[in-house]
Amino acid sequence: MSDVAAAEPESPPEPERHAGALVTRSRGQEVLHPDLDTFVATVAALKDEGYVMCVDVTATDYREAPERDLPAGVTPERFELVVNLVAHEPPRRIRLRVQVPDGPPVAPSLFTLYPGTEAMEREVFDLMGIRFAGHPDLTRILMPEDWEGHPLRKDYPVGRVPVQFKAAPSSR
Amino acid sequence: MSRAADQGGDVTPTPDGDDGQAPLATAWRGSAAVGAAETSEGAQELSSRAETDPLVLDVEQGAVLRLPEGVALDPTDFDIEPSDDETMIINLGPQHPSTHGVLRLMLELDGETVLRTKPVIGYLHTGMEKTAEDLMYVQGGTNVTRMDYLSPFHNECVFALAVEQLLGIEIPERATWIRMLMLELNRMSSHVLFMATNGLDMGATSAMIYGWRERELLLAFFERVTGLRMNHNYIRPGGVAADLPDGWRADVEHLLHVFPRRLDEFDELFTNQPIWRARSEGVGVLSQAQAVALSATGPVLRATGVPWDLRASLPYLNYDQVSFDVITGTFGDVFDRYAVRINEVRESMRIIEQILELMPAGDYRIQDAKVTPPPRSRIDESMEALIHHFKLFTEGFKVPAGEVYVAIESPRGELGCYLVSDGSAKPYRMHIRAPSFANLQSLPVMMRGGLVADAVAVISSLDPVLGDVDR
């Protein structure tokens, strides 16, 4: 047993990186973990690699389940921004998970790289409350403009919320 | 009114800056958004030009930013930048027969020419992603199937595939082929309904009658198989809810026999009809680069000539074992989007013919008592089966922690499901990447410079399902 331990190299192997970000595999899918400051640079590098389309931007609130599968060196934060890119030639798919700290959560917008993220980032802002710096029109998209709170957050309760719509004046 | 104006506008990247993303990568932390209020009360509506930020104006005018030279809209094509008092902002929808539900568009018009378009959505938002967090995986299918109600099987399938990937289970071959059969029939029913509503929107009212008649054939088959015409909850994690009924093969063969002739009728009604072509050709043009930049998928993208179909490009289920053509258009106009869809119906029939030959015998769901309920007959004889049945429907099954993104090609484009599990019996987070939602962003580009009468044709050609848009 001690022989096996001695045969092991002293330093762990260099963690795999792609476009400057740490790589993990989740159920066989390639996932990148850039940090918030290198996020845009990583996405720009991926776009140059042929990932021509950003198909989805979404987010998860890990408030109630902080334990999750992250590579060493990535600090878990409350919010996680998830971006899905596809390349057409050859066909492939990649996912980015970016940790966004609370208080209040802000991330850079991908709008200048992929104009198609406009509505998706608005949706994330509306439902999860992550603000996107550089987004041209960061307004609510699914909820009414005067809605309070961001429904997909874990501290936003399901059911028994007071109805926020004003009563319509009745003629009777 | 505009948010960027509130923030001083200094951090807003210039639309045509040659190094647009470089300053953004570092400068965003200093932007006003970092310290901004929690809840935005910015207007979702279209406001007058004077009150609109230039970048927002570009989006509303359909100018796609950062495109290579020459593909962006040529402003000289329509020399129209009139002052505010010459234009009119009108509201189309949400209560309008051509808006396919509750889509609301705000249009800025100069006479009959559309200058700016802004879709205002959310009228059908019912928080289904939030609901999903409160439903067990066994119940999740009933929720997602109600999103895109014209292709319920696709929604169920993408959810089931995501759950199965997290569980790490392989479903029986027959279940996979049954899924493919239902998915392709569903694609046909969705596309013929598109032809019905498209015809109605363009004034060919008889098309509506034909389209609904064709769809009825398919819905009758769905009812025989699943018991319901819509919102079936038929495709479930672990397989499908029930085996195909006796006589299903004859039913499908009958459909395959009837449909080619019916499609020829559509060709007569639309494809070769001069009025239809004049009404649809060259209208609502979207270029290839614009479609890719705006994350458009499905027939909207393929009509511009990009051969991107997940069934062929990134095959799932057994799509790598059947042969079919990916239909593409050339001009990306209303006619091409129609033509792509009608030919996709034919390709779906080709796939179904192969499925009929390849359909194996076997089980229609995985025989893992932890995931699928035991057969009804076993419950009367076996205590263990009864316990499994009871546990499955009261507590559900637990899914290992992890996250996964699965995408399939729905009739409207890439339908994705992002699923996060924390190891319990309910999803921690479920997100559906809705194709209609993303495709709607192409609308301002297609509308710009067109006539308001064509607006209805353009909306229709996008084939949005508002249940899918708003979720």
Residues of B in contact with A88 (CB under 8 A): 292, 306, 308, 313
Tell me whether residue A146 is in a domain: no
A139 CB contacts (<8 Å, ≥6 apart)? A122, A145, B3, B40, B42, B43, B44
B53 within 8 A of A136, measured Cβ to Cβ = yes
By CB neighbour count within 10 A (0-12 exposed, 13-18 middle, 19+ buried), where does B97 fall?
exposed
B283 within 8 A of B333, measured Cβ to Cβ = yes
Q: Beta strand B429-433 with B88-92: parallel, antiparallel or unpaired?
A: unpaired
Residues of A in contact with B431 (CB under 8 A): 56, 58, 82
Tell me whether residue A45 is in a domain: yes
Q: What H or E segment, with its residue span, contains residue B456?
A: helix B452-462
pLDDT computed for residue B21 by the predictor: 39
B126 within 8 A of B137, measured Cβ to Cβ = no
pLDDT computed for residue B448 by the predictor: 82
Tell me whether residue B40 is in a domain: no
Tell me whether residue B75 is in a domain: no
Q: How many whole angstroms separate alpha carbon B22 and alpha carbon A45? A: 12
Decide: helix, strand or coil at residue B226: helix
In Å, how far is A5's CA from the nearest CA of chain B? 31
Q: Is the dihedral of CA A143, A145, A150, A156 positive or negative?
A: negative
User: What's the total number of domains in chain A?
Assistant: 1
Tell me whether residue A34 is in a domain: yes
- Do B28 and A106 count as a contact with CB atoms less than 8 A apart? yes
A81 within 8 A of A130, measured Cβ to Cβ = yes
For residue B42, how many other CB atoms are within 10 A of its CB? 16
Paired with A92 in beta bridges are A87
Instruction: Tell me the residue range of the domain where B298 lies.
Output: 128-470
In Å, how far is B296's CA from the nearest CA of chain A? 8
Question: Could you tell me the CATH number of the domain that includes residue A86?
Answer: 3.30.460.80
Residues of A in contact with B6 (CB under 8 A): none
B247 within 8 A of B372, measured Cβ to Cβ = no
Q: Which of B11, B21, B416 sits opposite A56 (nearest CB)?
A: B416
Tell me whether residue B86 is in a domain: no
Q: Which of A27, A41, A152 sits opposite B25 (nearest CB)?
A: A41
Average pLDDT, chain A: 82
Tell me whether residue A167 is in a domain: no
- Do A61 and B431 count as a contact with CB atoms less than 8 A apart? no
Decide: helix, strand or coil at residue B446: helix
Structure tokens at B342: 């009608």
Is the predicted ipTM greater than 0.95, yes or no? Answer: no
pLDDT computed for residue B83 by the predictor: 58
Q: How many whole angstroms separate alpha carbon B7 and alpha carbon B35? A: 10
- Report helix angle B248-266 to B173-201, nearest 10: 30
Sequence letter at residue B285:
V
Give the CA count within 13 Å in the CB-facing half-sphere of A68.
Answer: 27
- Model pLDDT for residues B411-425, shown as the tens digit of each residue: 999 999 999 998 888
Give the CA count within 13 Å in the CB-facing half-sphere of B361.
Answer: 0
B345 within 8 A of B191, measured Cβ to Cβ = yes
More confident residue, B441 or A161: B441
Decide: helix, strand or coil at residue B90: strand
B64 CB contacts (<8 Å, ≥6 apart)? A115, B72, B73, B289, B290, B293, B294, B445
Tell me whether residue A43 is in a domain: yes
Decide: helix, strand or coil at residue B109: strand
In Å, how far is B213's CA from the nearest CA of chain A? 34
Query: What is the distance in angstroms between the CA of the first residue and the CA of the last residue of chain B?
Result: 27
Instruction: Tell me the residue range of the domain where A42 lies.
Output: 15-63+73-133
In Å, how far is A134's CA from the nearest CA of chain B? 5
Residue of A nearest to B313 (CA): A91
Tell me whether residue A140 is in a domain: no
- Do B122 and A115 count as a contact with CB atoms less than 8 A apart? no
- Model pLDDT for residues B109-146, shown as the tens digit of each residue: 888 888 888 888 888 888 899 889 888 998 888 999 99
Cis (ω within 30 of 0) for the bond into A90?
yes
Average pLDDT, chain B: 81
Q: How many whole angstroms separate alpha carbon B163 and alpha carbon B143? A: 14
Residues of A in contact with B314 (CB under 8 A): 91-93
Q: What H or E segment, with its residue span, contains residue A26?
A: strand A21-26
Structure tokens at B248: 């299903």
Q: How many whole angstroms separate alpha carbon B410 and alpha carbon B417? A: 12
- Do B42 and A140 count as a contact with CB atoms less than 8 A apart? yes
Sequential DSSP letters for B50-78? GGS-HHHHHHHHT--TTPPTTTS--GGGS
Q: Which of B306, B403, B416 sits opposite A26 (nearest CB)?
A: B403
pTM, entire model: 0.84
pLDDT computed for residue B27 by the predictor: 54
pLDDT computed for residue B416 by the predictor: 92
Strands (DSSP E) along B33-73, which ranges? none
pLDDT computed for residue B71 by the predictor: 36
Question: Could you tell me the CATH number of the domain that includes residue B292?
Answer: 1.10.645.10
- Give the ranges where B267-396 is alpha helix by DSSP (H): 274-280, 288-293, 299-302, 310-313, 334-358, 376-381, 383-394
| Backbone phi, psi, residue B172, to 5° | -60, 155
Q: Would you give per-residue pLDDT tens digits along chain B (471 residues)?
A: 343 334 333 333 334 434 333 444 455 565 545 444 444 455 667 777 667 776 676 667 655 443 333 333 444 444 455 555 677 888 887 777 666 778 888 888 888 888 888 888 888 888 899 889 888 998 888 999 999 889 999 999 999 999 999 988 889 999 999 999 999 999 999 999 998 888 888 888 888 888 888 899 999 999 999 988 888 889 999 889 888 999 899 999 999 999 999 888 888 888 888 888 888 888 888 888 889 988 999 999 999 989 999 999 899 888 999 999 999 988 888 999 999 999 999 999 999 999 999 989 888 888 877 788 877 777 788 888 888 888 888 888 888 888 899 999 999 999 999 999 988 889 999 999 999 999 988 888 888 888 888 888 888 888 888 888 888
- Give the ranges where B126-172 is alpha helix by DSSP (H): 128-132, 137-144, 152-167
